[in-house]
């Protein structure tokens, strides 16, 4: 089921299950995974997009192997908060995933996540070639970490 409201999504996430954070793009899907306590997001891999069925098959292999309890997609809003074509593509991807799984699917505003990931990789003196290889799943971890931090505040509040 897809949740547009983040608080409702957070309530739907089963306790003590990892969440997969996804940075959906035209050519790749960056994947990050949380720990079971929902405190730390770790970059996992970048899926090179081919066809939806192949992309989804790889994603659901990860879901099964990691016992993932929910999927969180970065929603690439415009800087003024409006939704453009990239948001529409991300929402369409989520709708297609929802047809294949009962897992809760939510969205997190990902504005500037790729910029933050790029900055962190530059500060770590990562080579240009290596940055290109890892940027998508590092961006996914930034998206997921932001959501995990928010979920902790919701539960504490």
Q: What is the largest CA-CA distance in the chain?
A: 43
**What is the domain extent for residue 92?**
2-156
What's the confidence (pLDDT) of residue 157? 65
Query: What is the full DSSP assignment across the chain?
Result: -EESSHHHHHHHSPTT--EEEEEE-SSEEEEEEE-TTS--EEEEEEEEP--HHHHHHHHHHHHHHHT--EEEEEE---TTS---HHHHHHHHHHHHHHTT--S-EEEEE-TTHHHHHHHHHHHTT--HHHHHHHHHHHHHHHHHHHHHHHHHHHHH-
Instruction: Name the pTM for this structure.
Output: 0.89
What's the confidence (pLDDT) of residue 117? 65
> What Cα–Cα distance (Å) separates residue 31 from each residue in 81, 141, 156?
24, 7, 27
Tens digits of per-residue pLDDT, 75-97?
988 888 889 999 999 999 999 99
Number of folded domains in the chain? 1
Who's near 66: CB < 8 A, 6+ residues apart?
18, 20, 33
- Tell me the CATH number at 24: 3.30.420.140
Tens digits of per-residue pLDDT, 36-64?
999 999 999 999 999 999 999 999 999 99
Tens digits of per-residue pLDDT, 101-157?
999 999 999 876 666 667 776 777 777 777 666 677 888 998 999 999 999 988 776
- Token pair recorded at residue 57: 């098959």
């Amino acid at each position: 089921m897809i949740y547009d409201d983040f608080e409702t999504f957070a309530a739907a996430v089963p306790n003590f299950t990892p969440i997969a954070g996804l940075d959906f793009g035209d050519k790749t899907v960056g994947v990050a995974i949380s720990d079971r306590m929902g405190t730390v997001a770790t970059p996992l891999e970048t899926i090179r997009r081919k066809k939806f069925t192949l992309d989804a098959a790889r994603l659901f292999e990860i879901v099964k192997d990691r016992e993932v309890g929910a999927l969180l997609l970065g929603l690439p809003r415009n800087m003024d908060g409006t939704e453009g074509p990239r948001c529409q593509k991300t929402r369409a991807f989520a709708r297609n995933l929802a047809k294949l799984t009962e897992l809760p699917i939510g969205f997190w505003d990902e504005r500037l996540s790729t910029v933050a990931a790029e900055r962190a990789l530059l500060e770590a003196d990562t080579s240009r070639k290596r940055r290109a290889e890892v940027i998508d799943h590092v961006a996914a971890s930034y998206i997921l970490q932001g959501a995990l931090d928010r979920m902790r505040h919701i539960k504490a509040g």
